[in-house]
Amino acid sequence: MKGSSGLPEFVQPQLATLVKEPPRGDGWIHEIKFDGYRIQARLERGAVRLFSRRRNDWTASFPAVTAAVARLPAREALLDGEVAVQDASGRVSFQLLQNAFAGQTPPGLAYFAFDLLYLDGADLRERPIEERKDRLRTLLAGADSRLHYSDHHVGDGERLLASVASMGLEGIVSKKRGEPYRAGRSASWRKTKCKQQGDFVVGGFTEPKGAPGGIGALIVGHRSDAGLIFCGKVGSGFTEKVSTELRALLLGLAIERWPFVERPPAAWIGGTPHWVRPTLEISVEFTEWTNEGGLRHPVFKGLARSK
């Protein structure tokens, strides 16, 4: 659907396919993947609307970004990017982004634009990614500080991924050079996520949804001088067989009271907990620590060691 001028009301976004490592060679460009919300910014003669990837209208949620887009030197434009927040150290923080939905505007909130789909009567979706980005860079030159051009590197995606990981960022997106913009998930866009891994102590588990016989999630923590500190639950990464084996093992360690310094919040547990003696450690892969000291996107990787 298009407006009266030909500017689309909304374009189904192109999505990246998750891969374990970035593609090789100079036929690809690589961008930093910001840990934010995917937003399509639509400008039509000073009027701006911000849409999520599912076409929810989030214009009112990010007034500072809306105002910045309205000041761009264009009559009509359709940008693709992410709204994210940088903390005082320059690191993108998903936690700070949540404040925007509580009526706050964090100082580091900005729109990181990585594609330009339409500009002043020209539909750019069939143009190569390099041309679209060149025009986007020109459009954003001298723009409001809330708008950032998402730059890229040609080739050497592995080096960029390592650099991004060292900065504690989420990962990178690799895009095939010379390609048009295509709605939906595509192999010409690929995302590679950074991972962290550590050993954590199991202090309990929850029941699975549906058929009994395994576990729903492992309740984990890390040791400190004060005792065992709760840091979340791990509910993915184990097969049905491993889940059943873990349950049998943990039932042999059952205790009446939680082994953590403080009882884990019920809202975090999400089910009836079974507490266990904290002697079992597991290896967990995760993306980052939250501001509350929890694990984000944890995945069970196996048993670590028993003490």
> Distance from CA of residue 43 to its chain's centroid?
26
Q: What is the pLDDT of residue 197?
A: 76
As a whole number of angstroms, the distance between CA 186 and CA 192 comes to: 14
| Average pLDDT score over residue span 1-24 | 85
For residue 217, the surrounding DSSP H or E stretch is strand 217-224
> Angle at Cα 14 formed by Cα 79 and Cα 55, nearest 5°?
65
| Percent residues over pLDDT 70 in the chain | 91
pLDDT at 148 over 70: yes
The CATH class of the 196-306 domain is: mainly beta
Q: What is the pLDDT of residue 5?
A: 63
* 203 CB burial (10 A radius; 0-12, 13-18, 19+): buried
pLDDT band of residue 164 (cuts 50, 70, 90) is: confident
In tens, the pLDDT along 104-125 reads 667 788 999 999 999 999 999 9
Q: What is the CA radius of gyration of the chain?
A: 23
Mean pLDDT (the chain, rounded): 89
As a whole number of angstroms, the distance between CA 230 and CA 275 comes to: 12
> Angle at Cα 249 formed by Cα 269 and Cα 208, nearest 5°?
35
Give me the active site residues, please: 33
Which residues lie across from 200 on neighbouring strands? Answer: 282
- Of these ranges, 55-59, 192-196, 293-297, the one predicted with the greatest mean pLDDT is 55-59
Q: What is the pLDDT of residue 146?
A: 93
Q: What is the pTM of this model?
A: 0.69
Higher per-residue pLDDT: 96 or 251: 251
3-state secondary structure of 116: strand
Could you state, in order of their start, the residue ranges of all structural domains in the chain? 14-193, 196-306
User: b/e for 245-261, b at 16 or more Cβ within 10 A?
Assistant: ebbeebeebeeeebbbe
User: Among 172, 162, 157, which residue's Cα sits nearest to residue 18?
Assistant: 172
C-alpha atoms less than 13 angstroms from C-alpha of 277 in its C-beta half-sphere: 8
For 9, 102, 107, 149, the CA distances from 67, given in Å and listed in that order, are 19, 19, 15, 17
Q: Place domain 14-193 in its CATH homologous superfamily.
A: DNA ligase/mRNA capping enzyme (3.30.470.30)
